[in-house]
Amino acid sequence: MARKKKTGEEENTAKLPIDPNAHIAGAGEIANQFITQTLEVNYMPYAMSVIMSRAIPEIDGFKPSHRKLLYTMYKMGLLTGARTKSANIVGQTMKLNPHGDGPIYETMVRLTKGNEALLHPYVDSKGNFGKAYSKNMQFAASRYTEAKLAAISAELFHDIDKDAIDFVPNYDNTMPEPVLFPVTFPSVLVNSNSGIAVGMASNICSFNLKEVCETTIELIKNPEHDCTETLKAPDFSGGGSVIYDPVKIREIYSTGRGSVRVRGKCSYDKKNNCIDITEIPPTTTCEAIIDKVIELAKGGKFREISDIRDETDRSGLKITIDLKRGADPDKVIAALYKRTPLEEPFPCNFNVLIGGTPMTLGVGDLLLEWIAFRTECVKRRTYFELKKAQDRLHLLKALQKILLDIDKAIKIIRQTDEEAEVVPNLMIGFGIDEIQAEYVAEIKLRHLNREYILKRLEDIEKLETLIEDLQDILGSKTRIKRVIIDELKKVIEKYGQPRKTDILYESELPDADDEDEIPDYSVMVFFTKEGYFKKISHQSWRMGNNHKLKDGDEIILSAEASNNAELLFFTNKHQCYKSRISEFDECKASSLGDFVGAKLQMEDGETAVFCAIVSEYTGYILVFFENGKVAKVDISSFETKTNRKKLIKAYSDKAEPCAFRYVREDGEFVMVTTAGRYLCFNSAAVASKSAKDTQGVQVMTLKKGHKVITVEDFREDRFKKPSRYRTKTLPSAGAVLSQEDTGEQLTLG
């Protein structure tokens, strides 16, 4: 239950002097209100406001705060004029955005050229606007900086005054503001955008403008176009390199979700024996990298480094790392990529408001939505121009009639006694309507000559041709597509630029071989059913071995292993994540440990269901399925030459698994079904496969409606007569428990 909130009237009343002897109805009473009603009345409107009007960008690529600022600058004439003080822009923007000068200026800072946060900045700036790659380089106050709109901003306001988009009143109903910008290119993908709403978020990476426009052109021609052919990979303003993974790229392009690995750029200066970092991923800062290197160096992980300093200046970002004599620079660079934020994943979440509804769309679908939006803008602009041309032609038709007898028009006006009768008399005299007559009546006396009228009449033929062309555009989808394509080609020609972010393929990356630096000692490891992993030293384990677990959780793996052993985590989404025991911090038994899903950055709803400890890639992974099949995969199939952390299709998705085993040599197992049947078999009877997602071999036959529910490791004392449950041929239905084996052994746990 939630306490009812006082109204403003009640709060004001509470401040008035109260007679202590007077009785106030309801005083001191607490009004109960259901929490569901509180959420509906108080919380949901706030949540919807944040989603719709603050955090999520729309199809034109802007949030309301961006749109209000840029439109204000447009109305101030800053598209072609000189720069003005940022404080002036901020003050004018408050007519549309009442959130205060601080947030408005911060919004403006990110849009500027000086901040270097966007591939194509919309604001041409002068002064200190800070840097996106540094948290310590703060921007100057608005009274010191100047700004105007960048040239590319002209594409945002193209046809904005031709009824291409809708306008709504501002917050105090004193001036109109655009609902969207009629932008001529898909700016939603050209510049990065992120926001956190209530219950949802958006994080859109940037792409090269030329590639985006070319992809859009291909989609206009063929909606089934494969975007990966023309849109290679994200392109970030800070440069760096994208580690190209075709599977992940297609996942992002098709679903709008996923992540792409981005690494910075560094080079070895042989003369000064140092490493210079000049480009970093967009998700980090130079201070974060420096702090991490210092932390690792203090922990003995970077013994080759003697000093690190930030040498960033007006020429750009630069972090210098001095090396000790004899240090291997390639080895240090590989370790920097592996252990510091110099290489980080960029999480993508293409959540955009489409017609007021949040939608997570892939690249192709998002561009198709933009094409539909731009098509509507072109139609509205064309109709506006058509109406304007028709109105102009309508007026010129009146001039054409007057040309036949100018003297008659003058005579009608001179002989009219009252001014109000001039227009009606012209209408009667020349057979024209009121609008035409009003236009003729307003012509200056100096213009009532044949030369002036003939020049105006020359436009009639041009207008008729224009009207015919505009009507043809409105009636032809092909013509509208051609108009949009022509506009996109002009944008490419004006603003296209080479990629700033290089593309690296997995095969081009050197192995970061630093196994010799991993301390090799024995530890106790534990893995729970809920996906928690614990690494405990022997000393800590001797001091206390009472595990702390979440309610309903249990230990499913307990082993002693080497600290440099590898871990294979199989998930409920048929994937395998690789890690090392050394990458997990030591903890005590009294802690929950590391949640593997978060530690390894698994997908939403993905959790680890089995863990295999691998010191050498010998043996097999056994996957037991509910349909009675068993897959036996050589463990070497999971060994990778590169440092890939994620393997897709790690096991078959054709049936639900009920158990996993990692065995170094074949052994006997007992499969148990819902029908109470037991089958004892040796894994040597199942042929091993190299394909990880093999469907396996049918080991146990099941009746309709039944399935395998558990698998036990065979023990000699498990059955009185084990031969009863063994079979010479597979598959087999197994056998029900004999009377000798019933009792407490029926418990499947």
Dist. CA 86–CA 231, nearest whole Å: 36
> Residue 377's pLDDT is what?
95
457/401 Cα distance (integer angstroms): 10
Instruction: Give yes or no for residue 256 having a pLDDT over 90.
Output: yes
Question: Is residue 8 predicted with pLDDT exceeding 70?
Answer: no
| Beta-bridge partners for 201 | 196
Tell me the average pLDDT across 581-599: 89
pLDDT of residue 397: 85
Residue range 124-136: mean pLDDT, rounded: 93
Q: Is residue 620 part of a domain?
A: yes
Same domain, 523 and 454: no
Between the two ends of the chain, the Cα-to-Cα distance in Å is: 41
User: How high is the pLDDT of residue 124?
Assistant: 96
Which pLDDT score, from 0 to 100, does residue 508 have?
66
Per-residue confidence (pLDDT) for residue 25, from 0 to 100: 63
Structural domain for 710, as ranges: 515-746
- Res 615: pLDDT: 87
Indicate whether 741 pLDDT > 80: no
Mean pLDDT of the region 408-418: 85
Of the three residues 118, 150, 182, the one that is the final residue of a domain is 182
- Whether residues 540 and 627 fall in one domain: yes
pLDDT at 625 (0 to 100): 94
The CATH number of the domain where 91 resides is what? 3.90.199.10
Q: What is the pLDDT of residue 503?
A: 93
* Residue 389 confidence (pLDDT) above 90: yes
Note whether residue 22 is domain-resident: no
391 lies in a domain? yes
Average pLDDT over residues 94-111: 92
**How many separate domains does the chain show?**
4
Average pLDDT over residues 349-375: 94
Q: Pick the range with the lowest mean pLDDT from 21-35, 230-244, 407-421, 514-528.
A: 21-35
Confidence band for 19, pLDDT divided at 50, 70 and 90? low
pLDDT at site 641? 65
Q: Quick one: 236 exposed, middle or buried, by C-beta within 10 A (0-12, 13-18, 19+)?
A: buried
405 and 327 together in one domain: no
Average the pLDDT over 725-748 and give the result: 75
In a domain, 623, yes or no: yes
In the set 144, 171, 505, 521, the catalytic residue is 144
From CA 46, how far away is CA 214, in angstroms rounded?
40
Q: Is residue 10 part of a domain?
A: no
How much is the average pLDDT of 25-53?
A: 78
Residue 633: band (very low, low, confident or very high) from pLDDT cuts 50, 70, 90? very high
Q: Are residues 404 and 484 in the same domain?
A: yes
Average pLDDT score over the chain? 88
State yes or no: pLDDT of 543 exceeds 60.
yes
For residues 174 and 292, membership in a common domain is answered with no
Per-residue confidence band for 126, with pLDDT thresholds at 50, 70 and 90: very high
**Predicted pLDDT of residue 210:** 96
Quote the CA–CA distance of 156 and 73 in Å, as a whole number.
12
Is 48 inside a domain boundary? Answer: no
Q: What's the pLDDT at 231?
A: 94
- Asked if residue 502 belongs to a domain, the reply is no
For residue 12, pLDDT over 50 is answered with no
Q: Clarify whether residues 636 and 741 are in a common domain.
A: yes
User: Cα separation of 694 and 630, whole Å?
Assistant: 9
Of the candidates 66, 155, 163, the one whose C-alpha atom is nearest the C-alpha of residue 117 is: 66
User: In this structure, what token pair is assigned to residue 371?
Assistant: 């094409």
pLDDT value of residue 697: 92
For residues 485 and 571, state if they share a domain.
no
Q: What is the CATH number of the domain that holds 424?
A: 1.10.268.10
**Domain's final residue, options 156, 182, 208:** 182
Distances (CA, A) of 473 to 300, 379, 384, 391, 470: 70, 8, 13, 18, 5
* Least confident interval from 71-75, 174-178, 346-350, 723-727: 723-727
Residues 539, 604 share a domain? yes
Q: Per the domain annotation, does 167 fall within a domain?
A: yes
Instruction: Residue 294: give its domain's CATH number.
Output: 3.30.1360.40
Place of tokens 């025991």: 581
Q: Is 43 a catalytic residue?
A: no
Residue 396: name the closest of 464, 465, 472 by CA.
Answer: 464
The beta strands (E) that lie in 245-360 are given as: 257-263, 265-269, 274-279, 305-310, 319-323, 343-349, 351-354, 357-360
- State residue 11's pLDDT score: 42
In which element (H, E) is residue 589 found?
none
Name the DSSP letter for residue 700: B
Name the band, by pLDDT with cuts 50, 70 and 90, for residue 318.
very high
More confident of the two residues 23 and 535: 535
- Domain boundary (148, 182, 216) is at 182
Does residue 404 or residue 462 have the better pLDDT?
462
Range 223-247 average pLDDT: 93
Q: What's residue 44's pLDDT?
A: 83
- Kindly state whether residues 526 and 483 are assigned to the same domain: no
**527 and 606 both lie in a single domain:** yes
pLDDT score recorded for residue 23: 58
Whether cis (ω within 30° of 0) applies to the bond prior to 731 is yes
Are 597 and 681 members of one domain? yes
Q: What is the CATH number of the domain that holds 601?
A: 2.120.10.90
User: Quick one: pLDDT at residue 585?
Assistant: 86
Beta strands 522-528 and 123-126: pairing type? unpaired
Q: Are residues 470 and 575 in the same domain?
A: no
Nearest to 385 by CA among 493, 490, 492, 483: 483
- pLDDT of residue 383 exceeding 80, the answer is yes
What pTM does this model have? 0.67
